[in-house]
Amino acid sequence: VTPRQLHLNVNILNAGVFGGSWRYPGTDPLASFGIEHYLSIARTAERAALDAVFLADTPVLDPLIRHRPANSFEPTVVLARIAAVTERIGLIATLSSSYHDPTELARRVGDLDHLSRGRVGWNVVTTAGSAAARNFGLAGEPDHGRRYERAADVTSEVIDSWDTRTALRSPQGRPVLVQAGGSSDGRRFAARFAEVIFSAEQDLHRACAFRRDVRLGAQAFGRSPDDVVVLPGLSTVIGSTEAEARLRRATLDDLLPDAYARRRLAGQLGFSIDDLDDDAPIPRELLVDPDQAGGSQTFFRIVRDVIDRENPTLRQLLRTLSGGGGHRIVVGTPEQIADDVETWFRAGAADGFNVMPDVLPSGFDDFVEQVVPELQRRNLFRTEYQSRTLRGHLGLAVPAVISAPSRRTTVSAGGALT
């Protein structure tokens, strides 16, 4: 019996997760505006037998693009191109449920799954922010709860469309459903639909509780807990010695454009920080309950947790976040990072990780060359692919299609479609 092993995705977040990544020595600052950046990282990920590449997306120009490259490609275009030059690596695209026509989305993502021979996942996001809303004729961001109601409707419709396909079908049945929101609404959605959850947990015990909760939540919807793969985001800063890793982190902090860091934090908090004292903590009265926050409740919650835990000054908070989304950052040698990964995995806090390298491609090259072999030595990660589809990599069953799409059951992985 093969022991339970980790699942690893790489999140190709343009130049890297840190706000100063594009300024890191030896980095091409504009590489992420070209397709070769994504193809090259995907090939590296496939050589390391990772589960998937993951592309985040928001259909709007990043208002902070002056100080940092942002995602600039539509994900299905990039993944279709990656599909043409790879054989096994999974391909996860973020697409907004709020701003796509469900019929069109179902067709395009389903066809991508077909042409990649069953390697696609759809990361369902509701898309925060009024700027994105205005690209689609709305005056402002729809209410958080309403966005998730629509997400459930759209997702149901898309799944039904995939399940009733008679042409261009996929060897994995249908694309894997991925979800990435940590709000209360997001968790309910995840319990019902998500097969992979890209979470943003900082603390081991809370991560264990989160994973336990979503597994129980899935059961409440008549699903098996093992049908849900929980992959927290993990930002990595790797050095061959601990000192080297700390120096790399310090360099990235120094390279963080200050204007970027401040405007991004203000965006995450939902209020201006211009008049706040850099050397004092953020006044508690400004922080609302996360469920009441507009925009992305996930990232508001993360920042609020850091404030609750560490009570940093504004200056310290900016440095702690370092322009990243707020995902957990581990800094250390390959062995130390493998230790951290193993601890979380064995504690039941994670089924694997959505790896967000500090700088792309160099931080990912280091991860693949140094951390992955260490995880393989510990028998925590595969040395080669055992399957051809994303579902296969993730250990998820092929959904069997029965006459009524709402009554879905599953057959064993790799089983034939009816």
Binding residues for other proteins, rule: CB under 8 A, are 22-23, 27-30, 33-35, 58-62, 65-74, 76-78, 80-81, 83-85, 98-104, 107-108, 111-112, 114-115, 131, 134-138, 166-168, 257, 259-260
Closer CB to other proteins, 191 or 255, in the complex? 255
Closest approach of other proteins to the CB of residue 73, in Å? 5
The amino acid present at 398, given as its one-letter code, is V
Look up residue 52 and give its two tokens: 């998937």
Look up residue 56 and give its two tokens: 């985040």
Closer CB to other proteins, 125 or 218, in the complex? 125
Closer CB to other proteins, 28 or 213, in the complex? 28
Closest CA to 189 of 144, 226, 234: 144
Look up residue 308 and give its two tokens: 């609750």
- Cα–Cα distance list, 2 to 18, 73, 293, 340, 380 (Å): 36, 38, 44, 22, 10
**318: phi then psi, degrees, rounded to nearest 5:** -60, -40
CA angle 397, 403, 405 (to 5 degrees): 60
Closest approach of other proteins to the CB of residue 111, in Å? 4
Distance in angstroms (rounded) separating the CA atoms of residues 84 and 140: 38
Closest approach of other proteins to the CB of residue 147, in Å? 12
Alpha helices in 331-371 (DSSP H): 334-347, 362-366
Closest approach of other proteins to the CB of residue 14, in Å? 10
The answer to whether residues 199 and 233 touch, using CB atoms and an 8 Å cutoff, is yes
Closer CB to other proteins, 15 or 282, in the complex? 15
Closer CB to other proteins, 102 or 267, in the complex? 102
The amino acid present at 77, given as its one-letter code, is V
**231: phi then psi, degrees, rounded to nearest 5:** -125, 95
Query: What b/e sequence results for 22-56 when a residue is b if at least 16 CB atoms lie within 10 Å of its CB, and e otherwise?
Result: bbbeebeeebbeeeebbbbbbebbbebbbbbbbbb
Closest approach of other proteins to the CB of residue 100, in Å? 7
Closer CB to other proteins, 116 or 298, in the complex? 116
Closest approach of other proteins to the CB of residue 59, in Å? 6
Closest approach of other proteins to the CB of residue 136, in Å? 5
Closer CB to other proteins, 333 or 389, in the complex? 389
Distance in angstroms (rounded) separating the CA atoms of residues 178 and 195: 6
Closest approach of other proteins to the CB of residue 330, in Å? 26
Closer CB to other proteins, 15 or 338, in the complex? 15
Distance in angstroms (rounded) separating the CA atoms of residues 306 and 200: 12
Closest approach of other proteins to the CB of residue 70, in Å? 7
Closer CB to other proteins, 96 or 333, in the complex? 96
Distance in angstroms (rounded) separating the CA atoms of residues 183 and 346: 25
